[in-house]
Amino acid sequence: MPGTNLTREEAQQRAKLLTVDSYEIDLDLSGAQGEGGTYRSVTTVRFDSAETGAESFIDLVAPAVLEVTLNGDSLDPAEVFKDSRIALPGILEGRNILRVVADCAYTNTGEGLHRFVDPVDQQAYLYTQFEVPDARRVFASFEQPDLKATFQFTVKAPNGWTVISNSPTPEPKDDIWVFEPTPRISTYITALILGPYHSVHSVYEKDGQSVPLGIYCRPSLAEFLDSDAIFEVTRQGFEWFQEKFDYAYPFKKYDQLFVPEFNAGAMENAGAVTIRDQYVFRSKVTDAAYEVRAATILHELAHMWFGDLVTMEWWNDLWLNESFATYAEAACQAYAPQSRWPHSWTTFANSMKTWAYRQDQLPSTHPIMAEINDLDDVLVNFDGITYAKGASVLKQLVAYVGEDEFFQGVQAYFKRHAFGNTRLSDLLGALEETSGRDLKTWSKAWLETAGINVLRPEIETDADGVITAFAIRQEAPALPAGTKGESTLRPHRIAVGLYDLSAPDTDTASGKLLRDDENGRIELDVDGELTAVPELVGRRRPAVILLNDDDLSYAKVRLDEQSLAFVTEHLGDFESSLPRALCWASAWDMTRDAELATRDYLSLVLSGIGKESDIGVVQSLHRQVKLAIELYADPTAREALLTRWTDATLAHLKSAAAGSDHQLAWARAFAATARTPEQLDLLEHLLDGRETIEGLAVDTELRWAFVQQLAAVGRFDEAEIAGEYERDKTAAGERHAASARSARPTEEAKSEAWASVVESDKLPNAVQEAVIGGFVQTGQRELLAPYTDKYFAAVKDVWDSRSHEMAQQIVVGLYPSVQVSEETLRKTDEWLASAEPGPALRRLISESRAGIERALRAQAADAAATTR
């Protein structure tokens, strides 16, 4: 259907011609509790045309169009409805009224109007998800962000249901809900959520402002809904954002709806944010999970200004939405009074920037301000560049122009463009006015070029350990093959931190790595290939010299040889969490870049992780070590390294404080790689109660983690999995059971899983994702080997026949990433040459191929380490 892929040129032409005034959308969803299928959608659009007699089109993805009436004239649907577009022939007037009657379809893919039946109460729950181009699955729309309009929804729903939209919820009459019109907003942030949802309500009040707040979830999750904690974070965001943005919250209420089978973390629908309901925690989780949830809540709230109040004109400026919301979430957690997570920049360095560094080295790397030619481009562009690199660069921009000047520019930007659309130049212009800086050069270097820089210290000392020369060398590694543009040396605002080990106190065997408050930090601008730092000459060399201390800039950082050696022994001794996170991240990046052997990375982690207090960092290290051993280690050494790691996880599990977050994290890490008969016996005995570990609650989610591993190694089969599902007959239990079944190490289990995902399109999105997650097991390489050829035989048809979300799950999730070999590279290259995939599919396959290349280099580096 070529009409689904709107081009930027088409959008510009349509925006030049049309000005949209309003939508009136009437949906008959009274049959939603039944079997699904289709529902009646009636859309009335009022819009102006700059040219009388011009022609245009409106977007609609629907099984059937029944009526099309333009300015009172009936148009034949069979003639005007093609390729998911309704042609508006050359009879447009200055003022136009278009009415479209269609039968639209419920989905189980998380796109358009998603319908889910809760196995607990057998009730249907619905919600919309429209970003990027899926409002057209529910009503006829001019589907592009710069054709804003008001939206009035009228919904007929089953008796007893609740209906929530962008506007305040009205009282229904005869099960019909008539909402008041919204302000002028883009199609993709309109929303409807309906069903017998459970709700909790409150209000945000300050200085005469009163904003109703609502939290919703399914009744089967109500007992787990910690609404007080969610409201607390929400109020924190209202306080901080309204002060910093100097613009009152722009909508009439703020609802947060935890919905099932959501593809993303959350969606910033104006006044009606949808959030994946895995954030309603059914079992004990670590504080890191609460921090991530709080970041998501604040991210979506920031979008009410960045994205909803002021919206990018076209998707090449998506970063104006996502980078700013990502920066704002972390800044709010770091700086808001009484924040529970003032260390959020540690989390940002540990997770967001790691994501960005990985994405920026893929063949699909692109400038933050990306070139988006059509909707296919943007659908695969919600990535680590748009979110994490953009936010990292904004953090540096704040340091560059000053925090007060930055937010003054943001305030002017909101006031100037409220309920409008903007480009990069609009924001930079406002920031130039308030900061007095010319940001055009900065923008070209940071926003309009791709790639990453590496900063390395160059140090000379005399016999007494006094620094005689110090410089920072900046490198710009070549961009991956096929990437547009050239590598770029950029200006960086960084700090250099000097750390020494204090004398041990009475409670510890070693001291703490500390930075002197007065003389232990130098902040400077780095530009060009080599930047001298004369301030350090004549000073005694400290134990550790850390570039980009405080994480001000976006750059990969390397430690000098002496600092690396000291950190390997003392990484856990940093008193502050942020320098620890920066060193952990540098070590992980060196491992991925084949500069540090996997076995040496494992040694470094084992030497320091026991002293790491930040539970989010600990859990990241668990994931990274597992990945490194399974993909980056010399295959001949893999088993020995896994044994070393699993033995360590069990030791830490047994020694962790009873009931602590660390104990839970180590239990999950142990379960992920348990393999010996004794280790697997322990998992079984913890499940059935024959053994216990003081303080460890083997609750619902932890039980499934154990069951998953026991299924993957062949200890558990259908009977045990079905028995566990009987204990947890919920939507989450259904997903876990599906994952465990597909994880079993048998040809029959793999064949069944493959058929359910690739050869059938009946699975809902969340179950499909669970099946794929269980199917790919790194310890089952031989069993999975035949599926490499099957993958390349099927992937093009899957991409062409499935919706974007469902196809992307399969394309990325089933790529033979565990088959790390030159043979996999060859087969990938042959497919890329012969299949002629479109740009979006080519990008996804090329990114996966890059993972194989990286793993091969890392394996070679690890193998070479055996000769040292």
pLDDT at residue 370, as a whole number: 84
pLDDT at residue 752, as a whole number: 98
Residues 37 and 106: beta-carbon distance below 8 Å: yes
Tokens of 656: 């962790």
Q: Identify the H or E element spanning 549.
A: strand 544-549
Q: In angstroms, how far apart are the furthest CA atoms of the chain?
A: 92
Residues annotated as catalytic are: 300
CA distance 104 to 140: 10
What ranges do the domains of the chain cover? 1-193, 196-450, 456-474+495-574+585-593, 785-868
Q: How many CA atoms lie within 13 A of 19 on its CB side?
A: 7
- Whole-number Cα distances in Å, 772 to 127, 743, 765, 808, 847: 24, 9, 11, 12, 18
Residue % of the chain over a pLDDT of 90:
94
pLDDT at residue 716, as a whole number: 98
Q: Quick: pLDDT tens for 783-838.
A: 999 999 999 999 999 999 999 999 999 999 999 999 999 999 999 999 999 999 99
In the predicted structure, residue 622 carries a pLDDT above the cut 70: yes
Residues in the chain: 868
Residues 244 and 106: beta-carbon distance below 8 Å: no
Q: Quick: pLDDT tens for 307-365.
A: 999 999 999 999 989 999 999 999 999 999 999 999 999 999 999 999 999 999 999 99
Location of structure tokens 């980009």: 548
Residues 502 and 511: beta-carbon distance below 8 Å: yes
pLDDT at residue 242, as a whole number: 98
Helical segments of 689-786, H only = 700-712, 718-727, 731-743, 747-754, 765-775, 781-784
In the predicted structure, residue 758 carries a pLDDT above the cut 70: yes
Residues 372 and 386: beta-carbon distance below 8 Å: no
In the predicted structure, residue 499 carries a pLDDT above the cut 70: yes
Q: Quick: pLDDT tens for 409-428.
A: 999 999 999 999 999 999 99
What's the CATH code, domain 196-450? 1.10.390.10
Residues 435 and 403: beta-carbon distance below 8 Å: no
Does the structural domain 1-193 have CATH classification 2.60.40.1730?
Answer: yes
State the average pLDDT over residues 631-635.
Answer: 98
In the predicted structure, residue 271 carries a pLDDT above the cut 50: yes
Q: Quick: pLDDT tens for 521-578.
A: 999 999 999 999 999 999 999 999 999 999 999 999 999 999 999 999 999 999 999 9
In the predicted structure, residue 2 carries a pLDDT above the cut 60: no
Q: Which residue type sits at 769?
A: E
Location of structure tokens 């320091």: 608
In the predicted structure, residue 196 carries a pLDDT above the cut 70: yes
In the predicted structure, residue 368 carries a pLDDT above the cut 60: yes
CA distance 746 to 816: 18
In the predicted structure, residue 505 carries a pLDDT above the cut 90: no
State the average pLDDT over residues 450-462.
Answer: 96
Tokens of 550: 């405080």
3-state SS string for 20-77: EEEEEEEEECCCCCCCCCEEEEEEEEEEEECCCCCCEEEECCCCEEEEEEECCEEECH
pLDDT at residue 481, as a whole number: 81
pLDDT at residue 506, as a whole number: 59
Q: Quick: pLDDT tens for 592-610.
A: 999 999 999 999 999 999 9
pLDDT at residue 1, as a whole number: 40
pLDDT at residue 868, as a whole number: 55
pLDDT at residue 101, as a whole number: 98
